[in-house]
Amino acid sequence: MSQEMGEVQPGEASIPFTMLDARQRQQRLNELAQVFLKLGAIAFGGPAAHIAMMDDEIIKRRQWMSREKLLDLLGVTNLIPGPNSTELAIHIGYERAGWQGLLVAGTCFILPAMTMVWILAALYARYQTLPQMGWLLYGIKPVIIAIVVQALWKLGKKAVSDVPTGIAGVAVIVFFFLRINEILLLLLGGLGVMLVKNWQRSRRIVPVLMPATGVLAQAGTASAEAQQPVTWVSTFLFFLKIGSVLYGSGYVLLAFLQRDLVERMQWLTSEQLLDAVAIGQFTPGPVFTTATFIGYLLAGNAGAIAATVGIFLPAFALVLLINPWVPKLRQSPWAGGFLDGVNAASVGLMAVVTWELGVTAIIDWPTLVLAVLAAIAVFRFKINSAWLVAAGGIAGFALQPLL
C-alpha cells in the first residue's frame, strides 16, 4: 500500500534528527507542523480524544514511534502539571526533531484553538453572547466516543501486559469512583507494580519519580492582592502560576479560576467564567485555551497572548527537562516497573473518562446511531479520525431540526 503524501517510510522515521541534512530537517519540521496543525483544528472531545487521534496519526499512519514509546511518554505527562494531550504533542515533537520539533509540534497543536477562541472572545466582548454551536457538538461528540474507545482498546492491550498491570488498571477504575485523587492513584499504581515486579530484587522502597512541582505548588498558592490592577503582565503571571501547578481536567481548571479570578481577585463574574469554559469545551484543541478567552476579556489582545503563553509555557519547559530521562527510566527495573504501573493506571483513568464522555455525548437515539456507525467505521474500516469528525459535524447540521 502506498504512503500518503507527506508520510515517511518507517525506516526513515527512525533516523535521528541530528543525522539528517538541512533539507531533511526542514522537511521533518514541516511534517510536524502539518500534522499538529491538522490535529489542533479537528481535536474535539478533550484529552482522551486528542490522545486517540495522536495514536491514529503518529503510530498507525506514520509509524513515527512505537505504541510502547507513546505509552511511556503519556505516563510521564500524567506525573507533571499541565495539559496532558498538549504535553504529549510536545514530547512527540521533541522525539521527532529535538527542541525545534518541541516548539513546532506544541505551538501548532495550540495555535488553531487559540485562534478560534481569540475570535470568539472578540465577538463575545462586543455582543456579550455565545455563538450557537450546539448542533456541531451534537454530531461530533458521539463520533469522538468511538475514536476514544478504539484508542483505549489499542493502548490497553499494550499497557495491561501482565497480572500486576491488569490489577493496577482495574483498581484505579474502582478507586476513582470512590473519589480518590487521580494523581495519588497514578502514583500508587506505579509504586504497586514497581514493588511487585521487583520484590525479589530488593525489599527497599525506592522513590523513582514524583510530581516535579511540590515546591511550585506551594509557591503558587501565595495570595495575591485583591486590588491588583489587571494588565497583560499580571494576566501572564497569573496563568503562568496556573500552568505550573495545575493537575487534572478542565473541571479542575474551572475550580482554580473560580476561586482566584471570581472570588478572590474579582477580575471576572461567574457568568463570564462559565462562558469562557464553554468556549474552551466546544472548540477543538486543548481546553486550556480557555485562558485565551479570559486573557482577552481582562486585557484585550495583549492579554489573550499573555494568558495563552503563560498557561502553556510550563508544559514546554517541563517536557524539555524530563524527556531525555524517559529512556533511562525505562532501562531501570525499578523505574520501568513504576512506569508500567503508571501506564496501566493511565489507561484506567482513560476508561473512566471515556465512560463519562459517553454519558454526556450519547443522549438519544440519533447520537446512539452516530456512535455505533462511527465505531464500525474505526474498528472495521479503519477510517481516519479527521474524516469522522467532519462527518459528525455534517450529521449534526443535518439533524439540527430534531434538536
Dist. CA 383–CA 143, nearest whole Å: 12
For 108-117, 211-220, 375-384, which range has the lowest pLDDT when averaged over its residues? 211-220
Query: What pLDDT is stored for residue 303 in this prediction?
Result: 96
Residue 21 reports pLDDT greater than 80: yes
Dist. CA 342–CA 346, nearest whole Å: 6
Residue type, 306: A
Dist. CA 284–CA 213, nearest whole Å: 28
251-290 residue pLDDT tens: 456 656 777 888 788 898 877 876 776 677 668 888 789 8
Dist. CA 24–CA 135, nearest whole Å: 43
Query: What pLDDT is stored for residue 220 in this prediction?
Result: 41
Per the prediction, the chain carries an average pLDDT of 81
182-217 residue pLDDT tens: 778 878 988 999 999 888 555 544 444 444 434 333
For the segment 151-168, the average pLDDT, to the nearest whole number, is 87
180 SS3 class: coil
Residue 171 reports pLDDT greater than 90: yes
Query: What pLDDT is stored for residue 211 in this prediction?
Result: 44
62-83 residue pLDDT tens: 989 988 889 889 888 877 778 8
Query: What pLDDT is stored for residue 7 in this prediction?
Result: 45
Other CB atoms within 10 A of residue 209 CB: 21
Query: What pLDDT is stored for residue 255 in this prediction?
Result: 59
Helix, strand, coil fractions of the chain, as percent rounded to 5: 75, 0, 25
Rounded to the nearest 10°, the torsion over CA 163, 87, 121, 230 is: 110
Please provide residue 286's backbone torsions phi and psi, each rounded to the nearest 5 degrees.
-65, 135
Give alpha helix (H) positions in 207-289: 214-220, 232-245, 250-257, 270-282
Tell me what percent of the residues of the chain surpass a pLDDT of 90. 33
For the segment 144-163, the average pLDDT, to the nearest whole number, is 84
Query: What pLDDT is stored for residue 348 in this prediction?
Result: 87
Judge if pTM exceeds 0.75.
no
For 152-156, 231-235, 296-300, which range has the lowest pLDDT when averaged over its residues? 152-156
Query: What pLDDT is stored for residue 226 in this prediction?
Result: 45
Please provide residue 134's backbone torsions phi and psi, each rounded to the nearest 5 degrees.
-60, -35
- In three-state form (DSSP H/G/I as H, E/B as E, the rest C), the secondary structure along 136-155 is HHHHHHHHHHHHHHHHHHHH
C-alpha angle with apex 391: 385 to 396, nearest 5 degrees?
A: 125
For 10-14, 138-142, 297-301, which range has the lowest pLDDT when averaged over its residues? 10-14
Q: Where is pLDDT greater, at 246 or 105? A: 105
- Write the CB contacts of 344 (distance below 8 Å, at least 6 apart in sequence): 159, 160, 165, 166, 168, 169, 172, 189, 193
Dist. CA 32–CA 97, nearest whole Å: 9
Helix (H) or strand (E) holding 123, with range, is helix 84-127
Full DSSP string of 357-401: HHHHH--SHHHHHHHHHHHHHHHTS---HHHHHHHHHHHHHHTGG
Q: How confident is the model at residue 133 (pLDDT cuts 50, 70, 90)?
A: low
Residue 231 reports pLDDT greater than 80: yes
Query: In the chain, how many H helices and how many E strands?
Result: 17, 0
8-state DSSP, 204:
S
